[in-house]
Structure 1
Amino acid sequence: MAQFGKASAKRSKPSYSMAILGVTIVLFFVGVFGWLLLNASRYTEELKEDIKLQVYLRRSATQADVDTLMQYIKSRPYTNTVEFIDKEAAKKQWMAKGETDFQELLDENPLPASIDFNLKSMYVQKDTIAAIKTDLEQRQLVVESVKYPAFVVEKMGSSVRVGLIVFAALAALFCILSIVLIDNTIRLAMFSNRFLIKTMQMVGATRGFIARPLTMRAVLNGLIAALIAIFLIYGLMMLSEYFLPYLSDLRDNGKVVILFAFLIILGISITLFSTYRSVVKYLKMKLDELY
């Protein structure tokens, strides 16, 4: 029994470094995928918030009417930014596009004043914008018409839906693969501890006594792996933003913190679960089955 104990102790030397390395690699790729997903989501939001609705005003509209309409639009939950474009500003925008100076042919500026506003990203949907347009056009004494790039909105809506489905499918697949890979990595690491676990059981140790140090070590390993992965991901983010500065505009620090917290929870929970499951497995096996 003494010889068996010495031999098993030698064979059961824990391979924590390989387990940490394996979990770190998986968490790193999970984090990079999550970071790309956050950037894609933020970029989509910015594209949506660039959609502009133009409320063209009647020539007969008084300043009081315009101010009332401005306040109404500002008070709506869908409004992001609002700007009043008077006739002179409209002319400058027209000329900036390289269009012909109409005042060479006309005595007055034919361009109407307008209220231009951008929507919050969650309201940039075909049906929602159509309802907003209908609501504003009911104010016929002030509003002449409401214009927006309907084709762009429709195409963007369909593209976003397809993108969300693809990303959701990839995210689900990636999470499943990550869990399986981490589980296999921990099980391989625990394989070297099988004789130690069995030896402790043979001398009368309880399951809780045997599992406690191994599960505590699993929590530590998961935390170390997650922190290393986070450090590498953050370094990649900073390097990417150095060479591609516009990426810094897409970064949402709050969501990045949530991503890093998710990696820590994922690393700890999976290593803890896999370690405990391996301990129970080897406790149930007969001595001859360990070889």
Structure 2
Amino acid sequence: MASSFENYNRRRLISSYFSVVLSIFLVLFLLGTLGLFVINSKKMTNDFKENIPMTVFFKNEAKDSVLNAFDTQMKNSKFIKEYAFVHKDSAAKHNVDIVGKDFMEFLGFNPLQNSFDIHLKGDYVIADSIKKFENEIKKNEYVAEIIYDKQLVDLVNNNIKKISMWILIISGFLAVIAMLLINSSLRLSIYSHRFTIKTMQMVGATKSFIRKPFIWRSIKLGLIGSVLAIIALLGMIHYVDGVFPSLGIAKDYISIGIVFGGILAIGITITWISTFFATQRFLNLRTDDLY
């Protein structure tokens, strides 16, 4: 009979520990995911911005020397991430591949112009910087036209501001929820030991002596939950890096280290504080209030 009761208590204790670790793991994984997103948000927005193309068309009068000079200008420009020269003959061939008909056969000439396809650095894909870059290019008298999606640029920048504001609000909300969830799980775990706590206190044990094993146990559970969250985040980082290799998230060791260090710190700190106040509450209760 005693053995059966001990097994029941052991299973209940294991179940309690498992729920605490699971709560810590889920909360820290969510916070870690959000942390990685916040840290890498600039990379992600820049990656999207840098995919917005700008095309500079040159007049037919522009000779090779003019095009070469412009090529050198682009190479030395602080605005440029990458660029490529597109010869009008190559553009015509590409058009034939897409449309399936050779328009030069009935026109008798190639109406297309030599051009440069340009991708600006993400930091410069804003209205003021693009306008400055555009005015700089227009100084070249052989430039015929500059084309890019102005509405898309404005839309992206406006949405980034809104998203950034909501991320800060959600981050604060989730941080509060995280502390409440972990605190609730730990308090439930300690609640099952309330009679043990009061018995130790009645035989003369000091409050710090009673708290110590509970705090150490909670810190261990916090470490286990933190390590599990880190392992899950490593898997997520590997997956995201495979889908979006241009972001280089997996190679940003400093950001990853900051997030993982934060997860460990949060896991230990919240469990320590929650356990301290939970045990303190039961230590201050009267014996009659335990039931």
What's the TM-score, normalizing by structure 1?
Answer: 0.75
For residues 187 and 48 of structure 2, the distance between their equivalents in structure 1, rounded to whole angstroms, comes to 45
| Residue segments in structure 1 that go unaligned for 5+ positions in a row | 1-9
Alignment check: 8 A CA contact 1:86 1:113 kept: yes
1:6 aligned partner: none
1:93 is the counterpart of 2:90: no
Mapped to 2, the partners of 1:248 and 1:206 lie a distance apart of 57
The DSSP-based 3-state class of the residue aligned with 1:158 is helix
Answer with 139-148 or 101-110: which moved more.
101-110
**Which amino acid in 1 is paired with 2:181?**
L
Structure 1, 225-234 or 181-190: larger mean CA deviation: 225-234
Matched, 1:161 2:158: no
Per-residue CA shift, 1:224-260, capped at 9, x if unaligned? 012223445556777x77xxx7467767213566544
Tell me which residue corresponds to 2:68.
Answer: 67
1:39 and 1:66 mapped to 2: Cα distance? 37
- Counterpart of 1:141, as a letter, is E
Hey, what's the Cα distance between the residues in 2 that align with 1:70 and 1:97?
Answer: 27
RMSD: 3.7
Aligned to 1:140: 140
Separation in structure 2 between the aligned mates of residue 96 and residue 48 of structure 1, nearest angstrom: 28
Please give the residue correspondences for 1:81-230 in structure 2 after superposition, counting only pairs within 5 Å: 81-98=82-99, 101-137=102-138, 139-202=139-202, 205-230=205-230
Q: For 2:162 and 2:92, how far apart are their aligned partners in 1?
A: 39
Identity fraction in percent: 28
State the TM-score, normalizing by the size of structure 2. Answer: 0.75
| Structure 2: tracts of 5 or more residues without a match | 1-8
Using the TM superposition, give the Cα deviation of residue 181 of structure 1 relative to its aligned residue in structure 2, in angstroms: 0.9
Q: Contact 2:58/2:115 (CA < 8 Å) preserved in 1?
A: yes
Q: Which amino acid aligns with 1:93?
A: H
Q: Once the 2 structures are TM-superposed, how far is the Cα of residue 123 of structure 1 from its aligned partner?
A: 2.8
CA distance in 2 between counterparts of 1:194 and 1:251 reads 50
Checking the alignment, whether the CA contact within 8 Å between 1:32 and 1:233 is kept in structure 2 is: yes
The yes-or-no answer on 1:21 pairing with 2:26 is: no
**Cα displacement (A) at 1:200:** 4.4
Do 1:20 and 1:221's aligned partners in 2 also have CA atoms closer than 8 Å?
A: yes
Q: 1:209 to 1:65 in 2, by over 3 A?
A: farther
Residues 155 and 84 (structure 1), Cα distance of their counterparts in 2 relative to 1, 3 Å cut: same
Give the Cα–Cα distance (whole angstroms) in 2 for the partners of residues 206 and 104 of structure 1: 98
Deviation at 1:274, TM superposition (A): 0.8
Structure 1 residues 229 and 155: alpha-carbon distance in aligned structure 2, compared to 1, 3 A threshold: same
